[in-house]
Structures are given as structure tokens and as C-alpha cells.
Structure 1
């Protein structure tokens, strides 16, 4: 049986009470969850891959990879190096402006609800990709990067509820339950796992493509460098390797964000 590991990290935050606007501070406008997927055979190479990337920056004191701490030219190099690795990438992106003021606001104001909802979308796509790659049988272990204040037991309970068919509304897609190993989910510190550091980089790369900086600009170059690593469904990346939530047509993207999503058709 084939075995896969998905390292998962996030960029942005869940809050949407005061969304950032240009130079005015506030909560991120987008919450992005990303997964770096690797086979168990290649997972043993992950630490060496990460060290080789860090080795490109001899003046860097820390041996950890934190995308937000890198300069632009270093971020480009990191994405170029990840694009060479034997990994898959999958991201889901929630534009939180589509929640504020709607009937869903009270639900998603509850701590963990938006995060768990995006995890569901992410795992639907990752488990389906693993199943397609290994139709004769496979398992997926998920390792989350530890984030303060997250109730991971609540998330596991939510996954079990879905697995047991106790949802009020059935999803359009479904997690492939005979692939996902719920009992083997782990939560680990970013600094101790090379896979989580790679996941941080790929997630932050796509966050940069949609989250406006202080000047209202985006940086899609990092995500474009990773395009060949993105999961595909019937040869198409959009709504598989890159999934805006809600859909591209409904996520209230501006022209530049829309153009970035449109590249993944």
C-alpha cells in the first residue's frame, strides 16, 4: 500500500471584523491553507531538501525557513527550488469579505469554524489526488503546523462527523475516507519539521498573490513558480490545486486577483 504525508500550514487569520485596507492595519482579507504532499519514500529526503534550500543563503543565521522573513529575491529562489522537489501542492483560499454581513457571518465568527471548513475543502482534493495516484490502495497521514489557539480535537471531531455521515447537508465532493488516516493526525512545531517549513513557503507564496500589501499591490510571481507542483483534476488546476472559496466567479476578487486565478484554468 502506498503511503503519503500532507504537511499543512496557513497564512492569514480567521477574523473578519476589521479587515485590513491598504496602509490601515487590520485582519487579513484572505485566509489561505496549503498542503505540501510527499510520498513516504521521499519524506525521508525532506530534511535534506530543506537544508539545501537554506544553503543557498550562506549569510542566513537561522536554519529554519520562514517565508515572511525572506527578502524578495530569496523568496524567488525558495520557490524555484521547491519547484524541483518530488512534492505536490494544494491550496484553498477564502476571501473573507464574502462572509461579512451575510447569513454565514455568525457561524464563521466562531473560533475554528472557517479554518475547519477550509481544511475540509483541502482534504477533499488531497485525498482524491492520492487515491487517483494509487487506486489499488493508499493512506494519507496529515501533519499540521501548530498555531496558537486552535482546538485540534474539535477539528478531528468535525472530520469524524463527516466520515460518519452525520452532516445535515451533504457536500458536493467528499473526502476519500479510506485514504485519510484520522487516528494518525499530528500537530507539530514548525521548527522541527522540514515538511512544515516547505508547507509554510508554498502557502505564503499563494497568500502573496491575493493579499494586498501596504500599497495595495500583489506578488503573484512566487505562486507562478510553483505551478507545475499544483494538483490537477482532469488536467485542470483551478478548483483542485488552487481553490478559491467561494468559487472564482463568486469570491469577489478584483481584476488582478481574478487574472491570477484565471491562469489556472
Structure 2
């Protein structure tokens, strides 16, 4: 699967929380998070310059010095709000998968483990779910625009962190490609569309170098900030409300397109605040204003 033409779309991916499955605790600030969010933004490669202008404008309105990279966790609430409002005007769509990890403890997927470093199994699986939705969305857009599809259409850039290796991702998604070709995919509910994605088109980069990754950081952090957990007793929905208009929509639906909640069957499994926060997000995403069937 050699690389070929230049990508038509770029998917920038970041995370919030951690993908460890050890129990979390409010009395232990360094314990694992209750939720893990993986997501990012998709932009047309031809819109990269516009993305740079959007982020520079956001930094200027937030009073940040020119040339400084933006990082959600390092800013106060006012600056976060200003930047989210500006990102809502950008020419991109965002996707996110978020998991309530308590329900993942003890679960094993031996096929996933066989192609994943153990500590990255949850990350890899959630990245797969993202790519299923992103490739479907991008192919749909190309079809609407009467553009021919090519396996090099979607380029994926992951925020660099310790423990991520592009060789592992290449191995994992190449095996999925082989399963796709032979019709032996283990989980058939959703499939990565390899007609617009080549597993070799995955790379990592530091957020400080890439504007798209900085925007992805704000997406996943805004969603993470709205989720209740011991390390975050007062969740805040303000930021996710600002950027919700940029969430990906397909077939008049945001949920299970731009936003995917885990575990599957969350409405039967989760209770209390954990159930209510997803219902609230689902209600927010169901607004007719947001679900206008556009793919721009």
C-alpha cells in the first residue's frame, strides 16, 4: 500500500483524559480519569491557510502573543471561551469518541490485543471508530462533489505523546485493511472505508508545530470539560456549546457521526450523572439548527 497522491482531507487527532483502565479517585489527583476522549478536526487540505487565519484571529482576540501555540489546559476560562467562539467560525468539521472507562475494565478483545501494544488497545480501538466515521464522511463529501475517490484522500496526523508509534498504527490498520479486503472484519457494525484511506498515511507531530492539532486539542478538551468525574466535580458545558455547530453531520444526525458515546448501549448501562450528561449532549446535538444536512 504505497503512498500516492497528495491528501484531499487532513484529520488532526488529539485526546483528553487518559486511556488507562485503573480505577479513578477524587482523593488521588494522579489517578486515572473516569472518561477518555479521542477526537479532532477534518479540514480540506485546500483550507489549511484558512485554518491558520482562524487560529491566529482567535489568539489575537484572546490577547495571546503572536507566535504562541494555544493549549486549552494552560488558559483561563475567559480565553478558552473566546477561542472556542472563534473556532466555531472555522472551515472544518470535528469528530469525537468518548468512553466511560469504568465499563471497559475487565473487557478484553483478543484480536485487538494481538495487533496492539497493551497500553494502547483502547486508544487504537477508539481511533478505529473515529476513522470509520471520518472516512465515511469524507467519501460522502467527495461523492456529492463528483470527485473521484483515492486511498490517499485522508491524511491522519496524531498529537505526539509518549508510547505512540506510527509503526504500530500501520500494523493495526493494515491488518484491518486485509480483513476488509477478504470480508473477514471482526466488528462489522462499522467499517473503515479504505477507498479513501491508506494505513500508511498516519503520522505523529507535536501540537506546538501544527495549527490543526491545536484546534483538535480545543475540541476534545471542550468535550472532556463537560463530563462529570471525581477529578472534575464541576463540569462546564459552555465550551462544547460554542463549538457544537462545527460538529460533523451526516443524514441529519450528529450522534454516531460527529459524536460517539461509549459504551455502546450507554442508555441501558450508565446511570445518574454519567447517563444524564450524554442525554444532555444528545439533546444539544439534536437541535434543528445544528442538524441541517450540510457537509461543508
The partner residue of 2:49 within 44, 53, 60 is: 44
SS in 2 for 1:181: strand
**Structure 1 Cα separation of the partners of residues 185 and 13 of structure 2:** 27
Tell me whether 1:131 sits opposite 2:139 in the alignment: yes
Give the root-mean-square deviation of aligned CA atoms.
2.5
Tell me whether 1:235 sits opposite 2:252 in the alignment: yes
After the TM superposition, which of the residue ranges 136-145 and 52-61 deviates more from structure 2?
A: 52-61
State the shift of 1:184 in Å.
2.4
The partner residue of 1:122 within 113, 130, 149 is: 130
Structure 2 matches for 1:73-112, cutoff 5 A?
73-102=78-107, 110-112=118-120
Deviations along 1:194-233, whole A, 9 cap, x unmatched? 1110111111111111153646221112111111111122
SS in 1 for 2:61: coil
State the shift of 1:38 in Å.
0.5
TM-score (norm 1): 0.90
TM-score (norm 2): 0.81
SS in 2 for 1:233: coil
Deviations along 1:158-200, whole A, 9 cap, x unmatched? 1111111176623211011011132222211110111110111
Contact in 2 for aligned 1:244/1:251 (Cα 8 Å)? no
1:16 maps to what in 2? 21
Stretches of structure 1 lacking an aligned partner (at least 5 in a row): none
SS in 2 for 1:49: helix
Deviations along 1:72-96, whole A, 9 cap, x unmatched? 1111111110000011000000110
Q: 1:30 to 1:109 in 2, by over 3 A?
A: farther
The partner residue of 2:278 within 258, 261, 265 is: 258
SS in 1 for 2:164: coil
The partner residue of 1:246 within 263, 267, 276 is: 263
**Structure 1 Cα separation of the partners of residues 45 and 13 of structure 2:** 16
SS in 1 for 2:8: strand
SS in 1 for 2:236: coil
State the shift of 1:55 in Å.
1.0
2:211 maps to what in 1? 194
SS in 1 for 2:43: strand
State the shift of 1:117 in Å.
0.2
Deviations along 1:118-154, whole A, 9 cap, x unmatched? 0000011011110111113341111111011123311
SS in 2 for 1:11: strand
After the TM superposition, which of the residue ranges 246-255 and 185-194 deviates more from structure 2?
A: 246-255
Q: How many residues align?
A: 264
